């Protein structure tokens, strides 16, 4: 598997067997909030304006066999909410990590998103 870094950070993946360095993406994948005017809603004779919030993902390629992408959590969650398969996305993991000057992040764990759950 090849891991492509789509974050704005230089990432060093450190393990007992050594280190792998992934350079920062020239154009990182991003998620952003889009606000749009919605339809008016009338409740008990009172008309209210509505707006719609949705997330948009820019710079995330389609799923490709043999490739995985390192992305920020906002990108992964927005892609999942949009219905994109996220089994090829990894996030910066918890645990021992260090952000040095110059935008380098060193970490020992990657995270994958599981299927969302809804509980009442």
What pLDDT does 100 receive? 58
Q: What is the pTM of this model?
A: 0.81
Whole-number average pLDDT of the chain? 89
Distance of CA 68 to the CA centre of its chain: 13
- The structural domains of the chain, with segments of one domain joined by +, span 2-111
- In this structure, are residues 105 and 22 in contact, taking their beta carbons and an 8 Å threshold? no
* Pairwise CA distance, residues 28 & 21, whole Å: 16
**83-119, pLDDT tens digit by residue?**
999 999 999 887 656 665 567 888 888 999 887 777 8
In the 8-state DSSP scheme, what is residue 23?
Answer: P
**13-59, pLDDT tens digit by residue?**
988 899 999 999 999 999 998 999 999 999 999 999 999 888 899 99
- In this structure, are residues 28 and 70 in contact, taking their beta carbons and an 8 Å threshold? no
What pLDDT does 106 receive? 85
Pairing of strands 67-71, 2-5: parallel
């Amino acid at each position: 598997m090849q891991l492509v870094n789509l974050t704005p950070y230089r990432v060093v993946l450190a393990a007992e067997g050594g280190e792998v360095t992934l350079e920062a993406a020239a154009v990182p994948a991003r998620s952003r909030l889009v606000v749009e005017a919605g339809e008016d809603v009338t409740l008990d004779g009172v008309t209210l304006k509505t707006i719609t919030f949705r997330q948009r993902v820019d710079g995330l390629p389609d799923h490709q066999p043999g490739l995985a992408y390192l992305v920020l959590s906002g990108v992964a969650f927005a892609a999942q909410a949009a219905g994109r398969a996220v089994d090829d996305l990894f996030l910066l993991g918890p645990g021992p990590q260090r952000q040095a000057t110059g935008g380098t992040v060193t970490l020992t764990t990657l995270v994958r998103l599981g299927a969302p759950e809804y509980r009442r």
